[in-house]
Amino acid sequence: MQVRAGGFLCAENWQQLHMALCCGSNGVLAVWSCEIRIGPYTSAMTIRPDSIRQRPLPYADCLQQRSPADIELVVIHATELPDLAMARDYGKRIHYPDSGTGNSGHFYIDRDGSIEQWVAVDRVAHHVAGHNANSLGIELVNLGRYPHWLDSRHQHWQEQLTEAQIEALIGLLRRLQAKLPKLRCIAGHDELDQREVKASDDPDLRVRRKLDPGPGFPWSRVVEGSGLARLRNC
What's the closest the beta carbon of residue 210 comes to Zn ion, in angstroms? Answer: 6
Distance CA 180, CA 120 (A): 13
For the CB of residue 136, give the shortest distance to Zn ion in the complex, in Å. Answer: 13
- 101 CB-side CA count, 13 A: 20
* Closer residue to Zn ion, CB minimum distance, 34 or 211: 211
Q: How far is CA 56 from CA 12, 34, 158, in A?
A: 9, 11, 29
Judged by beta carbon, residue 79 or residue 226, the one nearer Zn ion is 79
CB of 128 to Zn ion, least distance (A): 7
**Positions in 64-83 near Zn ion (CB under 5 A):** 77
Instruction: Please identify which residue in 123, 126, 145, 189 interacts with Zn ion, judged by CB under 5 A.
Output: 189
Min dist. Cβ of residue 41 to Zn ion (A): 24
Closest CB to Zn ion among residues 7, 214: 214
| 37 is a site residue for Zn ion (CB under 5 A) | no
Q: Which of residues 154 and 209 has its CB atom nearest to Zn ion in the complex?
A: 209
CB 226 within 8 A of CB 183: no
Alpha carbon distances (Å) from 181 to 5, 78, 83, 174, 185:
37, 26, 33, 12, 12
Contacts of Zn ion in 204-223 (CB under 5 A): 212
What character string, x for contact with Zn ion (CB under 5 A) and - otherwise, covers 118-157? Answer: ----------------------------------------
Task: Report d(CA 189, CA 103) in Å as an integer.
Answer: 14
Please choose, from the candidates 147, 123, 106, 121, the residue with its C-alpha nearest in 3D space to the C-alpha of residue 62. 123
Q: Which residues contact 41 (CB under 8 A, 6 or more apart)?
A: 54, 56, 120
CA distance 62 to 11: 13
Which residues make Cβ contacts (< 8 Å) with residue 150, sequence separation at least 6?
A: 197, 198, 199, 200, 207, 209
- Of 37 and 145, the one with the shorter C-beta distance to Zn ion is 145
Q: What angle do CA 135, 119, 232 make, to 5 degrees?
A: 15
- Give the nearest distance from C-beta 66 to Zn ion in angstroms: 20
> Considering beta carbons, is residue 123 or 189 the nearer one to Zn ion?
189
What CA–CA distance (Å, rounded) separates 231 from 219? 12
How many residues touch Zn ion under the rule CB under 5 A: the total is 3
Output 77 or 126, the one with its CB closest to Zn ion.
77
> What is the binding site for Zn ion (CB under 5 A)?
77, 189, 212
